[in-house]
C-alpha cells in the first residue's frame, strides 16, 4: 500500500492545483501511508538541495547493517578526526572518544549532528566515497530518479539534489524497513559530553501524533522537513522543501497534517479545509 502514491502522482488520478493555496515553501507533499493516497502536492519534482534530510539515507544504510548483525547498537565507535571536525550542526563529538553506535544514531536524528552522521557513515564504511556510492545505489534502487547524494550529512556540495517526491519515497521505504527507527527520531532531548541536546523538529510534542522524522536547512535549500504523524490507525507523511523561513515551513507542515487527518481520503476536501483557513486569516 505504501507505493500506491506512485500511481497517484504519475497516473493522473488527481492533481493538486499549485495555485490553490499559498504557502511560503517551494515544494510540498502530504501522503496518507495507510490508504496510499496523495492528499496534497506542490512542485513535487522540483530539484532542491536536501540539506540534512540526507541523513535519513545515512541512517537507513546504518540500520541495514544493524539488522544484518554486522554492527551492534552497543558497539563503541572511536571518533575520527574527520568526524570531529565536521562543521555545521553538531553533537559536539571529540576526536578519540568512544561513543555507542546507538547514541551516534540519536545524535544524527535528533540534533542533526553532522559529526555524528560522519561517524555513523565511517562505521558502515571507512571509505566515505564508498559510503556515498552506497547512498546513491540505494536511491537508484528506490527509483529516486532526481536525487544525487554527495556526502552523508547534507552539507552543501555541488550537484547534491533531491525532490519532495524522492524524499517521500525515501521516508516511506525507511520506515517500512526499519519501523523501530522512529524510536530514535521521537527523542526530544538527550545528553552528551555534559551538554543537553534537543531535537531540531519543532512539531515533535507540539502536534498530536508526530513522532519523526527529520529537518534540514542550508542557504541553497531553504528550510526542509519530513514529518510523520500517526493518529489511531492512520499515518500521514508530509514533506516540505524550500521554506522561506523556519516558521513558514513549520506552519505549512502543521496545516497540512491537521487538514490531512480531517480529510484522510479526500484531496479535494483537504484543499477545501486549507482554503477555508486561508480565507479566515
Q: What residues does 213 pair with on adjacent strands? A: 227
- Cell 553533537 appears where? 91
Is the backbone peptide bond immediately before 198 cis, with ω within 30 degrees of 0? Answer: no
CA–CA gap between residue 253 and residue 229 (Å, rounded): 11
Task: Identify the helix (H) or strand (E) that includes residue 81.
Answer: helix 81-84
Three-state DSSP at 26 gives coil
In 3D space, the residue among 253, 226, 280 whose CA is nearest the CA of residue 40 turns out to be: 253
55 a catalytic residue? yes
Catalytic pick among 33, 80, 89, 112: 112
Instruction: Return d(Cα 201, Cα 166) in angstroms, integer.
Output: 20
DSSP per-residue codes, 192-248: ETTEEEE-S-TTTTTSTTEEEEEEEEETTTEEEEEEEEEETTEEEEEEEEEESSHHH
From 33, 37, 52, 162, the catalytic residue: 52
Which residue of the set 55, 103, 214, 230 is catalytic?
55
**Annotated active-site positions, please?**
52, 55, 112
Amino acid at each position: 500500500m505504501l507505493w500506491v502514491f506512485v500511481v497517484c502522482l504519475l497516473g493522473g488520478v488527481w492533481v493538486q492545483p499549485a495555485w490553490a493555496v499559498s504557502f511560503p515553501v517551494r515544494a510540498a507533499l502530504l501522503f496518507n501511508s495507510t490508504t496510499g493516497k496523495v492528499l496534497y502536492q506542490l512542485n513535487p519534482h522540483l530539484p532542491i538541495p536536501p540539506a540534512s534530510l540526507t541523513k535519513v539515507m545515512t541512517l537507513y544504510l546504518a540500520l541495514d547493517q544493524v539488522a544484518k548483525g554486522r554492527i551492534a547498537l552497543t558497539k563503541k565507535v572511536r571518533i575520527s578526526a574527520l568526524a570531529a571536525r565536521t562543521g555545521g550542526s553538531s553533537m559536539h563529538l571529540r576526536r578519540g572518544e568512544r561513543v555507542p553506535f546507538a547514541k551516534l544514531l540519536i545524535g544524527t536524528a535528533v540534533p542533526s549532528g553532522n559529526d555524528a552522521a560522519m561517524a555513523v557513515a565511517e562505521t558502515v564504511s571507512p571509505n566515505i566515497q564508498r559510503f556515498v556510492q552506497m547512498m546513491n545505489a540505494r536511491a537508484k534502487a528506490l527509483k529516486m530518479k532526481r536525487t544525487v547524494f554527495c556526502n552523508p550529512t547534507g552539507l552543501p556540495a555541488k550537484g547534491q539534489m533531491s525532490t519532495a517526491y524522492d524524499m517521500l519515497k525515501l521516508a516511506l521505504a525507511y520506515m517500512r524497513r526499519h519501523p523501530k527507527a522512529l524510536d530514535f527520531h521521537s527523542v526530544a532531548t538527550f545528553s552528551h559530553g555534559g551538554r543537553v541536546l534537543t531535537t531540531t523538529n519543532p512539531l515533535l510534542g507540539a502536534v498530536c501524533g508526530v513522532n519523526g522524522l527529520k529537518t534540514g536547512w542550508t542557504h541553497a535549500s531553504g528550510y526542509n522537513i519530513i514529518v510523520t504523524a500517526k493518529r489511531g490507525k492512520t499515518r500521514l507523511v508530509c514533506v516540505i522543501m524550500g521554506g522561506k523561513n523556519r516558521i513558514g515551513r513549520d506552519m505549512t507542515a502543521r496545516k497540512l497534517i491537521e487538514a490531512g487527518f480531517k480529510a484522510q481520503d479526500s484531496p479535494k476536501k483537504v484543499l477545501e479545509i486549507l482554503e477555508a483557513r486561508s480565507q479566515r486569516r
